[in-house]
Amino acid sequence: MTGRGAQRKGRSGENELAKVLQEMGYQVHRSSAPYLDGSTAPDLEGLPGVHIECKRCETLKPTAWLTQAAADARTGELPAVFFRPNRGSWSVMMSLPEWLKLYERGRS
Asked if 42 and 71 touch (Cβ cutoff 8 Å), the reply is: no
Asked if 58 and 44 touch (Cβ cutoff 8 Å), the reply is: no
CA distances from 44 to 26, 81, 107 (A): 11, 11, 25
pLDDT for 97 equals 95
pLDDT in tens, 33-86: 666 666 688 999 999 999 999 999 889 999 999 999 999 999 999 999 999 998
Asked if 45 and 31 touch (Cβ cutoff 8 Å), the reply is: yes
Q: Is 28 helix (H, G, I), strand (E, B) or coil?
A: coil
CA–CA gap between residue 71 and residue 9 (Å, rounded)? 23
pLDDT for 77 equals 94
pLDDT for 40 equals 80
CA distances from 104 to 31, 91, 108 (A): 27, 20, 7
